[in-house]
Amino acid sequence: MVLCLHDRRTEPGTLFKGQLFYSRPSFPSSMKDYAKIVPCLDVKVVDGQPSVVKGVKFVDLKRQGDPVEFARRYQDQGADELVFLDITASHEGRKTMVDVARRVADAVDIPFAVGGGIGTLDGIKQILDAGADKVGINTAAVKNPDFVKAASGAFGSDKITVAVDARRNTNIIPGVNVYEMEDGAKAWFELVIYGGREPVGVDAIDWCRKMESFGAGELLPTSMDRDGTNIGFDLPLTKAICDAVAIPVIASGGASTPQHILEAFTVAKADSALAAGMFHRGEYTVGQVKDYLESNGIRVRR
């Protein structure tokens, strides 16, 4: 039996972890007929050159190679999409990412998104004009949620991915959505910004619902507890978001094996799974992950 990914949202009025909420209508099934594998490339200027880097929880970054060469490699392996994140988030970095987007667009045919430090409509336009298919917005959305409305209005929801960085908080406060973790402990998911360094006291699940209502076409939640740890996705976080919204969700943060990727689809019900180190280090190819998914009944694109 092959598992399709559409109709994965909780039915309206369903009780989930003690919370009653109403989900929006399902996204068109044609966009969720197969599981998408999305290599992620963190980009930073190193010795004057844009370079793919990888660290743990956004620190201790190590150079991996040229972004365009990685893009070609992953397209050849069968990646469905790519994500490039400018972790310099400086004026120099933004100019570099426009050039990276232009070079990647010339080198590959698969869709790709660019994010990191983009906080103006002109910044979005530059990236899209350079050839990117989507733009990721994170801190700018937290500081000014109406920016997401303006961006989706100007360029279309399909061009706007809202990245959501969150971490578990066991200090329960009134008004948050509380979930049971793998060990039975209770926690809520707090929104954080600046690469996870600054908590903002906002419930990440409610934030995702808000971003959907403001016009985001896709969500990219990353667990700051799992990023770069190689121990697997934060499944409670990803599932909570998938059950709360109707737009596509990309699981992110912590994957290092095909089993972790499988769990993003079978347990968390994500639409896509993002990974970095396991691909960059050559431990697995995208094709090997897709083979594993297919052997476990998940439909993939070939």
Rounded to whole angstroms, the Cα distance separating 289 from 300 reads 10
pLDDT the model gives residue 94: 67
301 is a domain residue: no
Below-70 pLDDT ranges, the chain: 1-32, 54-62, 89-94
Q: Which two tokens stand for residue 188?
A: 């809520």
pLDDT of residue 158: 97
Q: What is the CATH number of the domain that holds 40?
A: 3.20.20.70
Position 265 in a domain: yes
In 3D space, the residue among 64, 61, 107 whose CA is nearest the CA of residue 87 turns out to be 61
Q: Structurally, how many domains does the chain consist of?
A: 1
Which of the following is catalytic: 80, 86, 133, 165? 165
In a domain, 6, yes or no: no
Do the Cβ atoms of 273 and 255 come closer than 8 Å?
yes
pLDDT reported for residue 179: 97
Known active-site residue 165? yes
Q: Which amino acid is at 282?
A: G
What is the pLDDT, as a whole number, of residue 62? 67
Residue 5 lies in a domain: no
Q: Are 122 and 148 a contacting pair, CB within 8 Å?
A: no
Give residue 136's domain range: 15-295
pLDDT value at residue 125: 97
164 domain-assigned? yes
Instruction: Answer yes or no: is 2 within a domain.
Output: no
